[in-house]
Amino acid sequence: MRILQVTYLIGLLLLSTPMFSQSAKQQQLEEERQRLRQEIEQMKQLRADNKLKERSLLDEVEAINSQISTRRNLIKITNQQANLLTREINTNLKKIDVYREELKVLKQDYAKMVAKSYKSKSHQSRIMFLLSSSNFAQAYKRLQYMKQYNEHRKEQADRIEGNTIELQKLNRNLSTQKEDKETLVTENRDAQQKLKEEKKEQKILMASIRKKQGTYTKQIKQKEQQASAIDKAIEKLIREAIAKANKKAGKKVSKKGSVATFALTAEAKILADNFTANKGKLPWPVGTGRLTRKFGRQPHPTLPNIMINASGVEIETRAGERARAIFEGEVIAIQKLKGAGRLVQIRHGNYITTYYNVENISVKEGQKVTTKQSIGEVRTNPTTGRAVMKFLIYQNTKKLNPQSWIYRM
């Protein structure tokens, strides 16, 4: 019996250990799946709202491309969940077999003990068993044996009850897991169908663009020139902010080669260090939104033969969504730039975050702000119906990739 118990415990340990890691992974996948589903719903809502407005084919294709990409990720995550559930179901089936086998042996052993106990159940026979001892030591040992035998019998009964309860629990879990897997399979089937429809729509839109590719190529290049002019204006504002801050501190602009840098006070250095320490954990500059343009040089999302450059990221959000500071700091500039709407810049030590295409601004220059504090409203283009904010991060005059700093961007 002791060998059976040891074997049983080893078996359960081997089966239980992977379950802990699988459950954690399942939770992580479920969170990601829900995030992707929410993102797709936001895209659908944005596209539905924007269809009421005049919108260029390029914008429409970019939107459907993003939706297709997110849909593919959702299908991938859902497949991973279904596969993980299959492994969990198989593990539970093995655990059920182990419990059933041990339960069977326990019941057989318990039945033998009950039968044996029944044969010698009379109070008189137990007394005679003790009185027939040859000496006191033997009588004491027999008494201890009887006590241990009764305890073992109770222990066996408790284990049978415990195993029965655990077996019932495993069977319920198994039933739930099978239902969850069926739900995921059904959802994936629906997602595949929606993906097929979206790709069909994408194909029709791309055919329309190819008919006038020259016109759209010209439009893209014009937008790139406008973006470049805006970037230069932003960089000029940053250099001016550095010079102004250093002059106020009674110091000349410090230079490393040709790069101007902030002369940090002790307080500013602490703020900069805290900003650095939160790399990858900073909140989004809007409460709800999706990334529509990544940082750096990249192929155009609609016409990949054309290269474009982004000094920051672009985020599309809902009409009326508020822009918010990603970290505590001080507002150092509020400007109106041609082609960029209004712009807000916040200094965090030697870091500067820039939020543009913002209106109804609720902060002023020189004001201290806190993390996630509202600074204004993302402007909605009255022609296209899109609310898109460009967001940039600089360290002194060096451009940084916001995707490396913002959580899950």
121-155 tens-digit pLDDT: 544 455 555 566 677 677 667 667 666 766 666 67
Same domain, 137 and 279: no
Paired tokens of 204: 């029709």
Q: Does residue 89 have a pLDDT over 90? A: no
232 falls within a domain? no
Statement to judge: residues 152 and 117 lie in one domain: yes
Q: Is 409 a member of any domain? A: no
Least confident stretch, 34-43, 269-278, 361-370: 34-43
The yes-or-no verdict on residue 246 having pLDDT over 70 is: yes
Tell me if 221 is assigned to some domain: no
Q: How many domains does the chain have?
A: 2
Per-residue pLDDT for 348 more than 60? Answer: yes
Contact 368, 346 (CB under 8 A): no
- Amino acid identity, residue 349? G
Half-sphere exposure of 298 (CA within 13 A, CB side): 12
| 3-class DSSP assignment, residue 261 | strand
- Do 31 and 91 lie in one domain? The reply is yes
CB 78 within 8 A of CB 188: yes
Residue 184 lies in a domain: yes
> Is residue 205 situated within a structural domain?
yes
- Predicted structure pTM score: 0.62
What is the band of 297 on the pLDDT scale with cuts at 50, 70, 90? very high
Expressed as residue numbers, the domain containing 53 is: 2-211
Crossing angle for the helix pair 57-119 and 2-50, nearest 10 degrees?
160
Q: Do residues 127 and 276 share a domain?
A: no
- The answer to whether residue 227 is domain-embedded is no
**Does 176 share its domain with 260?**
no
- Residue 35 and residue 178 in one domain: yes
Q: Residue 397 falls within a domain, yes or no?
A: yes
Look at residue 339 in the predicted model and tell me its pLDDT.
61
pLDDT at 85 over 60: yes
How many C-beta neighbours within 10 Å does residue 102 have?
21
| 89 lies in the same domain as 41 | yes
Identify whether residues 279 and 346 lie together within a single domain: yes
Helix (H, G, I), strand (E, B) or coil at 134: coil
Tell me what pLDDT residue 14 has: 47
C-alpha pair distances (Å), 322 with each of 204, 287, 374: 35, 7, 6
On whether residue 229 sits in a domain, the answer given is: no
pLDDT digits (tens, 9 = 90+) for 109-122: 666 666 665 555 54
- Contact in structure between 63 and 43 (CB atoms under 8 Å): yes
